[in-house]
Amino acid sequence: MNKDVIYIEPEDDITDIITKIENSKEKIVALVPPKKAGVFRSVVNIKLMAKAGTTAEKTIVLVTTDPSIIKLAAATRLPVTKNLQTPPAIPTVETEIEETSEEIIDEPEEEAAEAVEKETANEDSEEEEEESTKKDKKSDKKEKKKSAEKTGNPIIDWIKGHKKTAIFGGIGILVLILLLVWAFAIAPAVTVTVGIKTENNNFSENVTFTTTATDENASEGKFYLQEKKVESVQEIKFDATGKKNNGEKASGEVKIYAYFPLNVKASIQIAKGTAFTISGLTFQATEDVTLSYNGEGKAECANKDNSEGLVDYGCRINGSIAVTASEPGSKYNIAASSTGWDTVARVFPYSDKAMSGGTDDIVTVVEQADVEKAKDQLKSTKEEENKQKLYDSIGDDMLVIDGSFTQDTPTAVATPAAGEVVKEGQQPVLKATTTASVFVIDKAKVEEFIREKAKLGDDQKVYEIKDPYVENFVKGDSGYAGRLKTTYAVGPKVTENDIVEMIKGKGIGDAQHDLKNINGIVSVTINTSYPWVSAVPGDTNKITVNIEMKDNN
């Protein structure tokens, strides 16, 4: 008969073991405890395993040589084997263990469990008494040793007699000293916020620009222009307004004749594509035709008496030529007409048969004007979007010259193209690659130029330059030029380092008093890192200074 071998992990509890028993598909389940399995040290757990096996109709076998587990298995009559090759059997324990096991087996299950636990408790009690005796002996030896080690110095003798107390007391004193050092030497720090009264001044200077980096002279107001670009592929739908007749062209035959001087050899060439017009409708020759006269007689002449009134032209030569309408349409299906045709190069046309085959099929087509209109619409609707995209790509360290912004759409492709038919239900699309560009200059150099040109007193400095910009940006014969404008805030010349040097090591009240006496400082706030800090640290690294501008305008 097959058996299921289950190896119990040290962390498995009795619930895990019962679950494994219930999930087993074999009738014989062999449980292999680990070396340290506390769950197998309880007779209650062993009984629960046996009960789980009975409920699941399985035979539970313990694979172990551990005497304590065998003893509990005997109490619950659970089969045990020392290995997987040895037949299992209900264990019998020799000598004292055997007797105890037999007594437990004869008793009810609850009493057997109590007996095993009581026996274990008695053994533990005897071990505790033995251990206590040993400790007492050791304690007596220690006391005798302490008496022998006394030096006569009460402090030293006390320390020797109370080593633990002395060690922990020493550690406590050391911690206290470290805490005091931290609290009064390391932890103290202050943040000083100083309010500065400032005044706003306007700045306006003419400046020039160059596209060559080596020509830049920022101190003289000549700045290097850098061009920033961004490309984007965009498309827009538009309406087609053109109309085209996509029907069939009418065709037919035109009769022609010409007059030649008598007895003079001559000819007239009618080339393919020659246009014949009647009432504004044009038909084109589809073949080459020649009218000729050999000049030898009048036999081939259709008219020999010059009844048409042409001086010296007494010979009329007739012919015919195939033609097709210049464009589709039923309007070219005209009736035969002997008059109304325009003369072509001394040739007189007429028709004795109607033109036929012309049909109408009016379709919508894209006009070039439609494409140009769509280009303008694309530029106007997408300009702000492209501009924002370009400006977002530029870092805060650069000043954008807004007046230099341009947007170009060099190529635009319409689908369908100009002249092509637009299918029913379809709307033409214009797709273009748009290039947006703008010039930028180094903002740091601009601000440096503004500081140098600002009108300041000896005791003043510039605290803030507010959004400089270039106005009237133009390109002339000598290059680019414009006017740099901004507003800057001016206040007393007080630096963060000046403040730190003035207040370090002073009491909080004295530091506030000294700072308030400086002309231009309107407010002082000193925040300490901890409530017990009453002075500004001498270490400058522990002093943080914030200067706030108070606009006086």
> What is the rounded CA–CA span in Å between residue 496 and residue 499?
5
Is a pLDDT exceeding 80 seen at residue 159?
A: no
DSSP 399-421: EEEEEEEEEE---EEEESPTTSB
Q: Which of 540, 518, 527 is nearest to 196 (CA)?
A: 518
What DSSP state is assigned to residue 224? E
179 pLDDT band (50/70/90 cuts)?
low
pLDDT in tens, 507-538: 888 888 888 888 778 888 888 877 777 788 88
> What is the rounded CA–CA span in Å between residue 327 and residue 307?
37
Q: If residue 438 lies in a helix (H) or strand (E), which one and from where to where? A: strand 429-442
What DSSP state is assigned to residue 457? -
> What is the rounded CA–CA span in Å between residue 472 and residue 259?
76
What DSSP state is assigned to residue 355? -
CATH architecture of 3-121: 2-Layer Sandwich (3.30)
Residue 180, both tokens: 């005091």
Are 192 and 501 spatial neighbours (Cβ–Cβ below 8 Å)? no
pTM, two decimals, is 0.44
Interacting residues of 140 by C-beta distance below 8 A, sequence separation 6+: none
Q: Which of 461, 457, 484 is nearest to 220 (CA)?
A: 484
The Cα-based distances of 131 to 118, 120, 138, 140 in angstroms read 20, 16, 11, 14
Are 235 and 430 spatial neighbours (Cβ–Cβ below 8 Å)? yes
185 residue type, one letter = A
pLDDT in tens, 180-191: 566 555 667 889
Boundaries of every domain in the chain:
3-121, 154-183, 186-197+492-551, 247-360
DSSP 141-197: HHHHHHHHH--S-HHHHHHHHTHHHHHHHHHHHHHHHHHHHIIIIIS--EEEEEEEE
The reported pLDDT for the residue numbered 305 is 53
The reported pLDDT for the residue numbered 501 is 83
36 residue type, one letter = K
180 residue type, one letter = L
Q: Quick one: average pLDDT of 23-31?
A: 86
Strands (E), 261-367: 266-270, 275-278, 281-285, 289-293, 315-325, 348-350, 362-365
298 pLDDT band (50/70/90 cuts)?
low
The reported pLDDT for the residue numbered 182 is 62
> What is the rounded CA–CA span in Å between residue 413 and residue 415?
7
147 pLDDT band (50/70/90 cuts)?
low
HEC letters along 139-155? HHHHHHHHHHHCCCCHH
First to last CA, the chain: 102
What DSSP state is assigned to residue 460? E
The reported pLDDT for the residue numbered 247 is 92
pLDDT in tens, 198-224: 888 899 999 999 999 999 999 999 999
User: What does residue 231 show for φ and ψ, rounded to 5 degrees?
Assistant: -105, 145
Return the exposure string of 28-66: e unless at least 16 CB atoms fall within 10 Å of the residue's CB, then b.
bbbbebeeebebbeebebbbbbbebbeeeebbbbbbbeb
The reported pLDDT for the residue numbered 354 is 95
Are 335 and 279 spatial neighbours (Cβ–Cβ below 8 Å)? no
| Vertex 328 angle, CA 326 and 334, to 5° | 80
pLDDT in tens, 226-269: 999 988 887 888 899 888 888 999 999 999 998 888 778 889 99
Q: Quick one: average pLDDT of 334-340?
A: 91
476 pLDDT band (50/70/90 cuts)?
confident
Residue 127, both tokens: 């071990």
Bridge partner residues of 113 (DSSP): none
Rg (CA), the chain: 58
**Residue 279: other Cβ atoms inside 10 A:** 10
CB neighbour class for 370 (10 Å; exposed up to 12, middle 13-18, buried from 19): buried
127 residue type, one letter = E
118 pLDDT band (50/70/90 cuts)?
very low
